[in-house]
Structure 1
Amino acid sequence: MRRRWLSQVFSWEGLTIAAAAAVLIIQLFIPPLIGLADNGDFERVMRTSGLDYDPNALTHRDRFFGYMSRWFALVPFGHGAYVSTQLPIIWLARGMAVLFGSQALLDVRYVAGIYTALLLAACFLLLRSAGQALSRAAAVLLGILLVLVFTDVGYAAYFNSLYGEPASLMFLLLTLALALRFAHREGRTPGGLLFVAAAGLLLVGAKVQNAPIGLVLALLLLRLGRLQASRSSTAAGGLSTDVDRALPVRRMKGIRHGCGSRLAAACAGVLALMSAGIFLLDAKEIRVINLYQSVFTGILKDSPLPERDLEQLGLDARYTVLAGTDYFQSGTAIPQRDPDLTHALLSNISVFKVASFYATHPQHLLDKLNKSAQAGKVSRPGYLGNYERGAGKEYGAITPSFDWWSGAKQRWLPGSFAVQASFFGLWLAGWGLERLRAKGKAAAAQLDVLLVIPAVAVLQFVVPFLGSGEADLSKHLFLFTVCLDLMLITAAVWGVHRLVRRVRPAVPSGWLP
């Protein structure tokens, strides 16, 4: 047993995870700490999590935009209306702080520790699956790229914060890893499907803008449900994967093949209902903010004819003075919280009307597509500082360290929508070629799992400007950036694997992690 444990620790997967852990520890846990300053989003999480601002951060300047928040006061749980699957992570961090002796303050590094553990677990699952499908060179490249990309400060800085973006990242990676594991010949069990569905539910519930992803994941579950629900070893009473062993349900002989399909349909239905519920039950206050941003920070921003646009949207032309303004901006000609404006937005504007407007105004649409392509290259909001107050750094300082991936993308990746759309087309063409070559149900299912990545990317590319205009665009495109990076990783790994197969045809078939 000890020898087996040591062999796993010193395996390629173990060493890769250790390297990722080391980089994250240096950034997140050893001073000067790297994090991300609050832009005002933390409060809705704090109200529901029994947290308040650091009592030593007394001024607006101390709390927002310039310095990361390391400490949060522990207070009685409030009555916040914010609902998110991110909240259990914050509650767990709060409980850990109390358990280890802090009755007054939460160190945000407890939150970072949970995110770090989730990231390492997801990467380990991906690497273990890749070892059974990739050539050695391609598997090594996958490990290097996972470390290079997801320990980059553009992602890691979010861990030391209360933003919902890192929860979305973790749950997406876990959903993909578990789905790929399930699709492999060792993972076709109802238990594995439940883990995929659970990870998908966590992803959909992490942020309101993730709601449309539920429809994609519902289709994925239906696809996975078509796989054989049990194997011959199941009939013999065996357990085939570590994930299965963790499920507290005894697998029994004679599970009918239709079981997997029915379970998948049930899980898909729950995901679809959850997506609809998140969209329909969005708090009125947040809905008004998003409608304002989608019109005045989106459609009317840089519009040559704002009066005409307002007329076509069914709004009074007097609101032209608000074109290009942000909901949280002070000193506007008409207050953003004006009751007449709020009523006009709720009565006349919806995300579907905004989408229809862009569909019939191609110049407006192309402008937003190009701005989104530029903003979505990297996930580092340039207006939010990375250091805590007292670290000896100036207000709003951005760390130049650990930006090996985001820095390279910022310099070399084109910010043109046409170029990025061309890359998506080439990726999908490569996917289609591999799908035609796929041999066996498992290889085909793994390929279908990877199709989730561009599907989520497309949704997360258009949802931000439809739902919130250009407000905080780079941050709202976070999950698009994740998917773009995953597509770059899979393209590179696929290329190396295919090259190795030309030289050594005996390597494993398939190229998927």
Structure 2
Amino acid sequence: MTEKGSILVKSKLIALSRYVSPAMLAALGVLFITIIALFVPPYIGMADNGDYFRILYSNGLYFNMPNYDSYYLGYFIKEYGIFQHFNENGATLFSSQSYFIRLSIWLNELFYHDQLYDIRFQTIIFIVLYTIAIYLFVESLTWKIPRKYGYPIALIAIFLFADTAYTAFFNSFFSESIVWTMLIYVFAAGLLLYRNRYNDYVLMAIFFVSALLLTTSKQQNAPVGVILAVTGLVLIFVRKERAYRIGMSAILVALFLAGVGTYVLIPKEFVNINQYHAMTRGVLMESEDPEATLKAFGIDKQYAVLNKSIYYEPYTTVDVDSKILEDHFYSKYGFGSILAYYITNPGQAFKMLDIAAKHAFTIRPPAMGNYEKSAGKEFAAQTSFFSVYSKIKHALAPKTFGFIVLWVIIIIGLYMPSFIKAVKDKHMRHIQRLPLILGIMLLGLSGILVSIIGAGDADLSKHEFLFTAAFDLVTFVAIADAIRGYLWRSDQDIIVQ
């Protein structure tokens, strides 16, 4: 580039920086692309895989399309009916997702219709929250750094966060929209605390609310509250004030209890479904001697006939909900005993982990279509609009558990020098960066472990969403820190409290 051209670029960056920060650029870029994807025809969303009923009916919505079943997996549907009278459907599960659905119904009735529900009112809520989350996340990485580093980070953020593999979930009733958005808030709040940006008490509140919504968004996320409570202990010592330390301690205890409570409140119906798959699509599937494996659990060897079967098969050897299975199959094992089995059989465990790794880098579930039937696309067609990142990730990521372990080791190694220095300096605000990143990675790994221990290989690409989300966020932070030169050292502009 010539000197004249360099001066011109520099002057434009200076002019841009007066009005648009890197964080604002990232947020506006993601907002603009997401609005085009979700609100401009042909509308992009997610087809129902059969799970919507679990959350719809108990929140006052119902399927008002006569042939709705024929749309399963194939077509996105944006309109539903609103119950006008008594709703006899109780909640089949507890989820923070219900709060967002009920708020969107209220907005729908206020601005659109009291009998016909448009899912895009929920989408508006998520887009607003998402835009703010992107702003805070990018701000935590670009605050007080030269614009020549900040804007490239913002452009990378747009490339990642505007990908429709993620944003299409907003036009659906899948809880992944909450998982993705709230995970960003949790990470952003922690990083902003680390950099001493904004009020610590406000960030503490954001951390708590987003972590609570994340933990309670789906039963699979029960470990989230426990992990954040443990890895977040260092947050207690960020400030010396007694009020802050008591408040943060109370938050961590609440998150721990929320994690335990989420696990306890899993409905019996879902326990049986997952437990069935944990054995038939997990333990038995990779066993060289299924009958001997069953014996290790105290289960009659005749149940080996269930090997590789799924709970929803129309014609089965035995009724999956029968008292026979309850007494002689389900009652013989649980999460703890399966975990113990895998620990004592590491070869089989690594086979399952490698199976899980094959799906761990897929953001968009391959089975669900993205278009309305009226768009004229073929059944289960998926959009390619602004999907470059997700396609590259799916195609090029090494799909082995060994790569995941290597990724964890590299990330920890990169941040360890600054952590050791912070410990030596006794600088608690600096110390918390590595535990925070480690906590996010553990959340992702819990998504893999809970999936294979709790449900075998059943619907892995969707069950492992928490890992693929955590992988992207941690990797993005590492890239941003490399660009701004803070991988091996802590930020020097932090004000000590």
Matches within 5 A, 1:298-313: 298-313=282-297
Which residue does 1:114 correspond to in 2?
A: 125
Aligned partners of 1:188 and 1:228 also within 8 Å: no
Closer, same or farther in 2 for the Cα pair 1:304/1:448, shift >3 Å? closer
Closer, same or farther in 2 for the Cα pair 1:134/1:298, shift >3 Å? farther
Aligned partners of 1:372 and 1:473 also within 8 Å: yes
- AA aligned to 1:12 is P
- AA aligned to 1:378 is T
SS in 2 for 1:212: helix
Aligned partners of 1:222 and 1:261 also within 8 Å: no
Tell me, yes or no, if structure 1 residue 290 matches structure 2 residue 274. Answer: yes
SS in 1 for 2:165: helix
Matches within 5 A, 1:350-389: 350-389=334-373
Aligned partners of 1:133 and 1:508 also within 8 Å: no
How far off its partner does 1:57 sit? 4.4
Tell me, yes or no, if structure 1 residue 214 matches structure 2 residue 201. Answer: no
Please give the alpha-carbon distance, in whole angstroms, between the structure 1 residues aligned to 2:308 and 2:464.
20
How far off its partner does 1:468 sit? 1.0
Please give the alpha-carbon distance, in whole angstroms, between the structure 2 residues aligned to 1:266 and 1:71.
41
Please give the alpha-carbon distance, in whole angstroms, between the structure 1 residues aligned to 2:308 and 2:144.
50
Please give the alpha-carbon distance, in whole angstroms, between the structure 2 residues aligned to 1:29 and 1:9.
27
Which residue does 1:250 correspond to in 2?
A: none
SS in 2 for 1:375: coil
Please give the alpha-carbon distance, in whole angstroms, between the structure 1 residues aligned to 2:201 and 2:123.
32
Which residue does 2:409 correspond to in 1?
A: 425
Aligned partners of 2:47 and 2:370 also within 8 Å: yes
- AA aligned to 2:70 is R
Q: CA RMSD in A?
A: 2.4
- AA aligned to 1:317 is K
Tell me, yes or no, if structure 1 residue 26 matches structure 2 residue 14. Answer: no
Matches within 5 A, 1:399-478: 399-438=383-422, 440-478=427-465
Determine which of 244, 264, 272 is the counterpart of 2:256. 272
Which residue does 1:3 correspond to in 2?
A: none
- AA aligned to 1:66 is G
Matches within 5 A, 1:85-124: 85-124=96-135
Please give the alpha-carbon distance, in whole angstroms, between the structure 2 residues aligned to 1:270 and 1:263.
11
Residues 331-373 of structure 1: per-residue CA shift (max 9 Å, x gap) = 2222322221133344211101111111111222111111111
Please give the alpha-carbon distance, in whole angstroms, between the structure 2 residues aligned to 1:138 and 1:307.
60
Tell me, yes or no, if structure 1 residue 318 matches structure 2 residue 302. Answer: yes
Determine which of 72, 79, 84 is the counterpart of 2:80. 72
Aligned partners of 1:137 and 1:497 also within 8 Å: no
SS in 2 for 1:450: helix
Matches within 5 A, 1:136-151: 136-151=147-162
Matches within 5 A, 1:8-19: 10-19=20-29
Tell me, yes or no, if structure 1 residue 390 matches structure 2 residue 369. Answer: no
Alignment identity in percent? 27
Tell me, yes or no, if structure 1 residue 202 matches structure 2 residue 213. Answer: yes
The TM-score normalised by the length of structure 2 is 0.89
SS in 2 for 1:357: helix
Which residue does 1:58 correspond to in 2?
A: 67
Please give the alpha-carbon distance, in whole angstroms, between the structure 2 residues aligned to 1:447 and 1:361.
32
The TM-score normalised by the length of structure 1 is 0.87
Closer, same or farther in 2 for the Cα pair 1:420/1:26, shift >3 Å? same
**How many pairs align?**
473
More displaced stretch, 155-164 vs 295-304: 295-304
How far off its partner does 1:205 sit? 0.7
Closer, same or farther in 2 for the Cα pair 1:177/1:80, shift >3 Å? same
SS in 2 for 1:451: helix
- AA aligned to 1:192 is L
Aligned partners of 1:183 and 1:224 also within 8 Å: no
Aligned partners of 2:414 and 2:488 also within 8 Å: no
Please give the alpha-carbon distance, in whole angstroms, between the structure 2 residues aligned to 1:308 and 1:500.
50
SS in 2 for 1:33: coil
Please give the alpha-carbon distance, in whole angstroms, between the structure 2 residues aligned to 1:313 and 1:133.
58
How far off its partner does 1:23 sit? 1.0
SS in 2 for 1:106: strand
Unaligned runs of 5+ in 1: 1-5, 230-256
Tell me, yes or no, if structure 1 residue 174 matches structure 2 residue 158. Answer: no
Please give the alpha-carbon distance, in whole angstroms, between the structure 2 residues aligned to 1:486 and 1:189.
22
Aligned partners of 1:174 and 1:199 also within 8 Å: yes
Please give the alpha-carbon distance, in whole angstroms, between the structure 2 residues aligned to 1:326 and 1:362.
24
Aligned partners of 2:286 and 2:351 also within 8 Å: no
Aligned partners of 2:23 and 2:136 also within 8 Å: no
Unaligned runs of 5+ in 2: 1-15
